Structure 1
Protein backbone atom coordinates (compact mmCIF):
# COMPACT_ATOMS: atom_id res chain seq x y z
CA UNK A 1 0.00 0.00 0.00
CA UNK A 2 2.78 2.41 0.94
CA UNK A 3 4.59 1.64 -2.30
CA UNK A 4 1.42 2.30 -4.30
CA UNK A 5 0.92 5.62 -2.52
CA UNK A 6 4.55 6.60 -3.09
CA UNK A 7 4.28 5.84 -6.80
CA UNK A 8 1.07 7.83 -7.07
CA UNK A 9 2.67 10.77 -5.28
CA UNK A 10 5.75 10.63 -7.49
CA UNK A 11 3.56 10.65 -10.59
CA UNK A 12 1.57 13.59 -9.30
CA UNK A 13 4.57 15.78 -8.44
CA UNK A 14 5.42 16.81 -12.03
CA UNK A 15 1.78 17.71 -12.59
CA UNK A 16 1.74 19.80 -9.44
CA UNK A 17 4.92 21.59 -10.51
CA UNK A 18 3.47 22.28 -13.94
CA UNK A 19 0.29 23.60 -12.34
CA UNK A 20 2.27 26.40 -10.67
CA UNK A 21 2.44 28.16 -14.04
CA UNK A 22 -0.84 29.41 -15.48
CA UNK A 23 -1.48 30.70 -18.98
CA UNK A 24 -3.22 34.02 -19.61
CA UNK A 25 -4.29 35.24 -23.04
CA UNK A 26 -4.22 38.96 -23.83
CA UNK A 27 -7.72 40.22 -24.59
CA UNK A 28 -7.41 42.54 -27.63
CA UNK A 29 -10.80 44.12 -26.96
CA UNK A 30 -9.69 45.39 -23.55
CA UNK A 31 -6.00 46.07 -24.19
CA UNK A 32 -4.16 49.06 -25.61
CA UNK A 33 -0.65 49.66 -26.92
CA UNK A 34 0.29 53.31 -27.16
CA UNK A 35 3.25 55.61 -27.73
CA UNK A 36 4.16 59.23 -27.10
CA UNK A 37 6.86 61.29 -28.81
CA UNK A 38 7.79 64.97 -28.68
CA UNK A 39 7.11 67.11 -31.75
CA UNK A 40 9.23 70.26 -32.24
CA UNK A 41 10.17 69.94 -28.55
CA UNK A 42 7.01 71.81 -27.51
CA UNK A 43 4.19 69.27 -27.87
CA UNK A 44 3.58 65.54 -27.57
CA UNK A 45 2.11 63.37 -30.31
CA UNK A 46 0.28 60.32 -28.97
CA UNK A 47 -0.78 57.27 -30.90
CA UNK A 48 -2.38 53.88 -30.36
CA UNK A 49 -2.36 50.49 -31.99
CA UNK A 50 -5.82 48.95 -32.19
CA UNK A 51 -4.88 45.30 -31.80
CA UNK A 52 -2.54 43.63 -29.33
CA UNK A 53 -2.44 39.86 -28.82
CA UNK A 54 -0.21 37.49 -26.89
CA UNK A 55 0.25 35.05 -24.06
CA UNK A 56 1.52 35.35 -20.49
CA UNK A 57 2.80 32.35 -18.53
CA UNK A 58 2.66 33.25 -14.84
CA UNK A 59 4.10 31.56 -11.78
CA UNK A 60 2.76 33.57 -8.85
CA UNK A 61 4.89 31.63 -6.36
CA UNK A 62 8.09 32.42 -8.26
CA UNK A 63 7.52 35.23 -10.74
CA UNK A 64 11.07 34.88 -12.10
CA UNK A 65 9.80 31.73 -13.83
CA UNK A 66 7.14 33.71 -15.69
CA UNK A 67 7.32 34.75 -19.33
CA UNK A 68 5.42 36.87 -21.83
CA UNK A 69 4.96 37.26 -25.55
CA UNK A 70 3.01 40.05 -27.25
CA UNK A 71 2.29 40.99 -30.85
CA UNK A 72 1.12 44.44 -31.94
CA UNK A 73 -0.63 44.93 -35.28
CA UNK A 74 1.14 47.96 -36.80
CA UNK A 75 -1.54 48.34 -39.48
CA UNK A 76 -3.93 49.54 -36.77
CA UNK A 77 -1.93 52.65 -35.83
CA UNK A 78 -4.09 55.66 -34.99
CA UNK A 79 -2.90 59.17 -34.08
CA UNK A 80 -6.28 60.82 -34.89
CA UNK A 81 -4.79 62.46 -38.00
CA UNK A 82 -5.42 60.49 -41.20
CA UNK A 83 -2.53 61.99 -43.20
CA UNK A 84 -0.08 61.35 -40.38
CA UNK A 85 -1.34 57.80 -39.96
CA UNK A 86 -0.84 57.16 -43.68
CA UNK A 87 2.72 58.48 -43.44
CA UNK A 88 3.49 56.35 -40.37
CA UNK A 89 2.18 53.26 -42.17
CA UNK A 90 4.30 53.99 -45.24
CA UNK A 91 7.91 52.98 -45.90
CA UNK A 92 8.89 56.32 -44.31
CA UNK A 93 8.35 54.81 -40.87
CA UNK A 94 6.71 51.48 -39.95
CA UNK A 95 6.37 50.15 -43.52
CA UNK A 96 3.36 48.08 -42.48
CA UNK A 97 3.01 46.42 -45.89
CA UNK A 98 6.33 44.69 -45.23
CA UNK A 99 6.28 44.62 -41.44
CA UNK A 100 2.64 44.28 -40.29
CA UNK A 101 3.62 43.32 -36.75
CA UNK A 102 6.01 44.27 -34.00
CA UNK A 103 6.70 41.78 -31.24
CA UNK A 104 8.02 41.50 -27.71
CA UNK A 105 9.33 38.31 -26.12
CA UNK A 106 10.54 38.31 -22.53
CA UNK A 107 13.91 36.91 -21.53
CA UNK A 108 13.90 37.74 -17.82
CA UNK A 109 11.31 38.62 -15.18
CA UNK A 110 12.26 40.18 -11.83
CA UNK A 111 9.95 41.05 -8.96
CA UNK A 112 10.44 44.64 -7.79
CA UNK A 113 8.01 44.81 -4.90
CA UNK A 114 4.31 44.31 -4.30
CA UNK A 115 2.53 44.33 -7.63
CA UNK A 116 5.64 45.41 -9.54
CA UNK A 117 7.94 43.67 -12.03
CA UNK A 118 10.90 44.48 -14.23
CA UNK A 119 10.54 42.55 -17.49
CA UNK A 120 13.50 42.35 -19.86
CA UNK A 121 13.01 41.09 -23.37
CA UNK A 122 13.52 41.41 -27.11
CA UNK A 123 11.51 44.04 -28.97
CA UNK A 124 11.33 43.63 -32.75
CA UNK A 125 10.27 46.52 -34.99
CA UNK A 126 10.76 46.56 -38.78
CA UNK A 127 12.87 43.41 -38.60
CA UNK A 128 15.28 44.89 -36.05
CA UNK A 129 15.48 43.30 -32.60
CA UNK A 130 16.82 45.15 -29.55
CA UNK A 131 16.69 44.41 -25.81
CA UNK A 132 14.36 46.60 -23.76
CA UNK A 133 13.18 46.69 -20.16
CA UNK A 134 9.55 47.25 -19.19
CA UNK A 135 8.54 48.50 -15.75
CA UNK A 136 5.34 46.58 -15.05
CA UNK A 137 2.55 46.85 -12.50
CA UNK A 138 -0.05 44.11 -12.25
CA UNK A 139 -3.32 43.36 -10.50
CA UNK A 140 -4.60 40.31 -8.71
CA UNK A 141 -7.17 38.16 -10.56
CA UNK A 142 -10.82 39.21 -10.62
CA UNK A 143 -13.92 37.47 -11.92
CA UNK A 144 -15.33 38.55 -15.29
CA UNK A 145 -18.97 38.70 -16.33
CA UNK A 146 -18.94 35.04 -17.40
CA UNK A 147 -17.01 33.76 -14.40
CA UNK A 148 -13.65 33.83 -16.17
CA UNK A 149 -10.54 35.07 -14.35
CA UNK A 150 -9.02 38.34 -15.54
CA UNK A 151 -6.09 40.47 -14.46
CA UNK A 152 -4.44 43.66 -15.64
CA UNK A 153 -0.87 44.55 -16.55
CA UNK A 154 0.62 47.95 -17.34
CA UNK A 155 4.12 48.13 -18.79
CA UNK A 156 6.17 51.18 -19.79
CA UNK A 157 9.51 51.58 -21.51
CA UNK A 158 11.44 54.13 -23.58
CA UNK A 159 13.21 53.40 -26.85
CA UNK A 160 15.27 55.38 -29.35
CA UNK A 161 13.36 55.14 -32.61
CA UNK A 162 16.58 55.36 -34.65
CA UNK A 163 17.69 52.04 -33.14
CA UNK A 164 14.80 50.41 -34.99
CA UNK A 165 15.19 52.24 -38.28
CA UNK A 166 12.23 54.56 -37.64
CA UNK A 167 13.72 57.51 -39.52
CA UNK A 168 12.55 59.67 -42.38
CA UNK A 169 14.38 62.14 -44.63
CA UNK A 170 17.80 63.60 -43.83
CA UNK A 171 16.25 67.08 -43.75
CA UNK A 172 13.70 66.13 -41.10
CA UNK A 173 16.14 64.06 -39.08
CA UNK A 174 18.66 66.93 -38.99
CA UNK A 175 16.32 69.02 -36.83
CA UNK A 176 14.20 68.53 -33.70
CA UNK A 177 10.97 67.91 -35.63
CA UNK A 178 10.43 64.47 -34.09
CA UNK A 179 12.28 63.48 -30.91
CA UNK A 180 14.43 60.35 -30.89
CA UNK A 181 13.01 59.02 -27.63
CA UNK A 182 9.62 57.33 -27.76
CA UNK A 183 7.68 56.29 -24.67
CA UNK A 184 5.76 53.03 -25.07
CA UNK A 185 2.92 51.85 -22.85
CA UNK A 186 1.25 48.43 -22.90
CA UNK A 187 -2.03 48.46 -20.98
CA UNK A 188 -3.14 44.84 -21.05
CA UNK A 189 -6.06 42.81 -19.78
CA UNK A 190 -5.53 39.06 -19.83
CA UNK A 191 -7.93 36.14 -19.43
CA UNK A 192 -6.87 32.92 -17.74
CA UNK A 193 -6.81 30.04 -20.22
CA UNK A 194 -8.84 26.93 -19.50
CA UNK A 195 -6.95 23.59 -19.17
CA UNK A 196 -7.87 22.52 -22.72
CA UNK A 197 -6.55 25.82 -24.10
CA UNK A 198 -3.30 25.47 -22.15
CA UNK A 199 -2.77 21.92 -23.42
CA UNK A 200 -3.37 23.03 -27.01
CA UNK A 201 -0.93 25.94 -26.69
CA UNK A 202 1.73 23.69 -25.13
CA UNK A 203 1.31 21.17 -27.95
CA UNK A 204 1.63 23.91 -30.56
CA UNK A 205 4.73 25.34 -28.85
CA UNK A 206 6.40 21.92 -28.73
CA UNK A 207 5.64 21.34 -32.40
CA UNK A 208 7.14 24.72 -33.27
CA UNK A 209 10.33 23.97 -31.32
CA UNK A 210 10.81 20.69 -33.22
CA UNK A 211 10.74 22.42 -36.62
Structure 2
Protein backbone atom coordinates (compact mmCIF):
# COMPACT_ATOMS: atom_id res chain seq x y z
CA UNK A 1 0.00 0.00 0.00
CA UNK A 2 1.32 3.49 -0.71
CA UNK A 3 -0.23 5.79 1.88
CA UNK A 4 3.02 7.60 2.13
CA UNK A 5 2.35 9.01 -1.33
CA UNK A 6 -0.35 11.01 0.29
CA UNK A 7 2.28 12.46 2.54
CA UNK A 8 4.22 13.43 -0.50
CA UNK A 9 1.26 15.46 -1.66
CA UNK A 10 1.53 17.61 1.41
CA UNK A 11 5.11 18.34 0.56
CA UNK A 12 4.20 19.22 -2.90
CA UNK A 13 1.62 21.61 -1.72
CA UNK A 14 4.11 23.44 0.35
CA UNK A 15 6.47 24.29 -2.42
CA UNK A 16 4.35 25.90 -5.11
CA UNK A 17 4.67 29.44 -6.60
CA UNK A 18 5.70 33.07 -6.27
CA UNK A 19 4.78 36.41 -7.71
CA UNK A 20 3.22 39.94 -7.47
CA UNK A 21 1.99 42.48 -10.00
CA UNK A 22 -0.96 44.82 -10.25
CA UNK A 23 -2.91 42.00 -11.93
CA UNK A 24 -2.33 38.35 -10.93
CA UNK A 25 -0.90 36.12 -13.61
CA UNK A 26 -3.22 33.49 -15.08
CA UNK A 27 -1.96 29.98 -14.37
CA UNK A 28 -1.89 27.56 -17.30
CA UNK A 29 -2.99 24.22 -15.74
CA UNK A 30 -2.08 22.22 -18.86
CA UNK A 31 1.57 23.25 -18.48
CA UNK A 32 1.74 23.31 -14.66
CA UNK A 33 2.31 20.51 -12.17
CA UNK A 34 2.69 19.80 -8.48
CA UNK A 35 3.98 16.48 -7.23
CA UNK A 36 5.26 14.79 -4.12
CA UNK A 37 8.40 12.68 -4.16
CA UNK A 38 9.13 10.23 -1.34
CA UNK A 39 10.52 6.78 -0.61
CA UNK A 40 8.36 3.80 0.20
CA UNK A 41 10.30 0.79 1.46
CA UNK A 42 13.40 2.47 0.02
CA UNK A 43 11.93 2.83 -3.46
CA UNK A 44 11.46 6.38 -4.84
CA UNK A 45 7.86 7.31 -5.68
CA UNK A 46 6.52 10.41 -7.40
CA UNK A 47 2.81 11.21 -7.26
CA UNK A 48 1.04 14.16 -8.86
CA UNK A 49 -1.72 16.32 -7.53
CA UNK A 50 -4.30 16.61 -10.26
CA UNK A 51 -6.21 19.59 -8.80
CA UNK A 52 -4.62 22.78 -7.54
CA UNK A 53 -4.91 26.53 -7.99
CA UNK A 54 -2.21 29.16 -7.88
CA UNK A 55 -2.54 32.92 -7.60
CA UNK A 56 0.73 34.54 -8.61
CA UNK A 57 1.24 38.31 -8.42
CA UNK A 58 4.66 38.77 -9.98
CA UNK A 59 6.25 42.19 -10.26
CA UNK A 60 9.40 42.00 -12.42
CA UNK A 61 10.37 45.59 -11.55
CA UNK A 62 10.06 44.93 -7.81
CA UNK A 63 10.30 41.18 -7.18
CA UNK A 64 10.15 41.72 -3.40
CA UNK A 65 6.61 43.08 -3.89
CA UNK A 66 5.53 39.77 -5.45
CA UNK A 67 3.13 37.37 -3.74
CA UNK A 68 1.85 33.84 -4.25
CA UNK A 69 -0.79 31.49 -2.92
CA UNK A 70 -1.19 27.85 -3.87
CA UNK A 71 -4.10 25.63 -2.81
CA UNK A 72 -3.99 21.89 -3.45
CA UNK A 73 -6.94 19.51 -3.23
CA UNK A 74 -5.54 16.77 -0.99
CA UNK A 75 -7.85 14.08 -2.37
CA UNK A 76 -6.41 14.69 -5.85
CA UNK A 77 -3.09 12.94 -5.18
CA UNK A 78 -2.69 10.39 -7.94
CA UNK A 79 -0.51 7.42 -7.00
CA UNK A 80 -1.41 5.58 -10.17
CA UNK A 81 -3.92 3.23 -8.54
CA UNK A 82 -7.51 4.10 -7.50
CA UNK A 83 -7.24 2.05 -4.29
CA UNK A 84 -4.03 3.84 -3.22
CA UNK A 85 -5.64 7.17 -4.06
CA UNK A 86 -8.58 6.34 -1.75
CA UNK A 87 -6.17 5.23 0.98
CA UNK A 88 -4.19 8.49 1.08
CA UNK A 89 -7.42 10.50 1.40
CA UNK A 90 -8.27 8.62 4.64
CA UNK A 91 -7.85 10.00 8.17
CA UNK A 92 -4.44 8.36 8.69
CA UNK A 93 -2.96 10.23 5.73
CA UNK A 94 -4.48 13.50 4.43
CA UNK A 95 -7.88 13.21 6.12
CA UNK A 96 -9.35 14.86 3.03
CA UNK A 97 -12.88 14.84 4.48
CA UNK A 98 -11.84 17.18 7.31
CA UNK A 99 -8.92 18.92 5.55
CA UNK A 100 -9.83 19.08 1.84
CA UNK A 101 -6.95 21.31 0.87
CA UNK A 102 -3.36 22.10 1.66
CA UNK A 103 -2.11 25.63 1.10
CA UNK A 104 0.99 27.76 0.78
CA UNK A 105 0.93 31.54 1.20
CA UNK A 106 4.11 33.53 0.61
CA UNK A 107 5.28 36.10 3.13
CA UNK A 108 8.49 37.17 1.36
CA UNK A 109 10.06 36.73 -2.06
CA UNK A 110 13.68 37.86 -2.25
CA UNK A 111 15.77 38.11 -5.42
CA UNK A 112 18.78 35.76 -5.36
CA UNK A 113 20.37 36.39 -8.76
CA UNK A 114 19.16 36.39 -12.35
CA UNK A 115 15.90 34.43 -12.48
CA UNK A 116 16.38 33.12 -8.94
CA UNK A 117 14.44 33.85 -5.77
CA UNK A 118 14.26 32.75 -2.15
CA UNK A 119 10.64 32.27 -1.09
CA UNK A 120 9.38 32.22 2.47
CA UNK A 121 5.83 31.55 3.59
CA UNK A 122 3.38 29.45 5.52
CA UNK A 123 2.55 25.89 4.52
CA UNK A 124 -0.62 24.37 5.96
CA UNK A 125 -1.39 20.68 5.62
CA UNK A 126 -3.93 18.70 7.59
CA UNK A 127 -4.60 21.65 9.90
CA UNK A 128 -0.94 22.11 10.85
CA UNK A 129 1.05 25.12 9.72
CA UNK A 130 4.79 25.70 9.46
CA UNK A 131 6.99 28.48 8.15
CA UNK A 132 8.98 27.23 5.17
CA UNK A 133 11.62 28.58 2.78
CA UNK A 134 12.78 27.31 -0.59
CA UNK A 135 14.64 28.46 -3.71
CA UNK A 136 12.67 29.23 -6.86
CA UNK A 137 13.64 29.86 -10.46
CA UNK A 138 11.67 31.89 -12.98
CA UNK A 139 12.11 31.84 -16.74
CA UNK A 140 10.21 33.77 -19.36
CA UNK A 141 9.60 32.21 -22.77
CA UNK A 142 6.97 32.93 -25.39
CA UNK A 143 5.24 35.47 -23.15
CA UNK A 144 4.85 32.90 -20.36
CA UNK A 145 6.48 32.88 -16.93
CA UNK A 146 7.60 29.48 -15.67
CA UNK A 147 8.18 29.16 -11.91
CA UNK A 148 9.95 26.01 -10.73
CA UNK A 149 11.12 24.79 -7.35
CA UNK A 150 11.28 22.09 -4.73
CA UNK A 151 10.24 22.23 -1.11
CA UNK A 152 11.51 19.51 1.22
CA UNK A 153 9.22 18.73 4.16
CA UNK A 154 8.79 16.07 6.82
CA UNK A 155 5.42 14.37 6.61
CA UNK A 156 5.19 13.63 10.33
CA UNK A 157 5.44 17.36 11.12
CA UNK A 158 2.04 17.64 9.41
CA UNK A 159 0.65 14.45 10.99
CA UNK A 160 0.63 12.68 7.63
CA UNK A 161 0.80 9.01 8.44
CA UNK A 162 -0.93 8.32 11.75
CA UNK A 163 -0.93 5.14 13.83
CA UNK A 164 1.11 2.34 12.28
CA UNK A 165 2.03 4.70 9.39
CA UNK A 166 4.27 6.76 11.67
CA UNK A 167 6.82 4.02 11.07
CA UNK A 168 9.33 5.64 8.73
CA UNK A 169 10.80 2.29 7.67
CA UNK A 170 7.74 1.79 5.43
CA UNK A 171 7.25 5.36 4.20
CA UNK A 172 10.11 7.81 4.69
CA UNK A 173 9.51 10.98 6.68
CA UNK A 174 11.23 13.09 4.01
CA UNK A 175 9.06 14.32 1.17
CA UNK A 176 9.94 16.77 -1.58
CA UNK A 177 7.20 18.83 -3.15
CA UNK A 178 8.13 19.63 -6.73
CA UNK A 179 6.30 22.24 -8.73
CA UNK A 180 6.31 23.89 -12.12
CA UNK A 181 3.80 26.68 -12.56
CA UNK A 182 3.35 28.25 -15.97
CA UNK A 183 1.48 31.55 -16.04
CA UNK A 184 0.64 34.36 -18.44
CA UNK A 185 -0.31 38.02 -17.83
Q: Which band: TM-score by shorter chain?
A: 0.7 to 0.9
Q: Distance in 2 between matches of 1:25 and 1:119?
A: 20
> RMSD between aligned alpha carbons?
1.8
What is the aligned length? 166
Instruction: Check conservation: 2:156, 2:166, Cα contact below 8 A.
Output: no
- Cα distance in 1 for partners of 2:116, 2:157 equals 27
Question: Does the alignment pair 1:23 with 2:24?
Answer: yes
CA distance in 1, matches of 2:167, 2:99: 26
What is the match of residue 111 of structure 1? 111
Preserved contact between residue 75 and residue 88 of structure 2 (Cα < 8 Å): no
Residue of structure 2 equivalent to 1:154: 148
Q: 1:187 aligns with which of 174, 180, 185?
A: 180
SS of 2:85 mapped into structure 1: helix
Counterparts in 2 of 1:62 and 1:76: CA distance versus 1, 3 Å? same
Q: Does 1:164 align with 2:164?
A: no
Contact kept? 1:51, 1:76, Cα under 8 Å: yes
More contact order relative to length (CA 8 Å, sep ≥ 6) = 2
CA-to-aligned-CA distance 1:34-53 (integer Å, 9 cap, x gap): 01111122x11211101221
Gaps of 5+ in 2: 1-20
Structure 2 partner of 1:95: 95
Structure with max Cα Rg: 1
3-state SS of the aligned residue for 2:174? strand
TM-score (norm 1): 0.73
Detail structure 1 runs of 4+ shifted over 6 Å in the superposition. none
Higher helix proportion (structure 1 or 2): 1
Q: Per-residue CA shift, 1:115-139, capped at 9, x if unaligned?
A: 1111111011111111111211111
SS at match of 2:156: helix
Shift of 1:21: 4.0
Contact in 2 for aligned 1:31/1:52 (Cα 8 Å)? no
Distance in 2 separating the partners of 1:48 and 1:38: 15
Structure 1 gap segments, 5+ residues each: 1-19, 144-149, 193-211
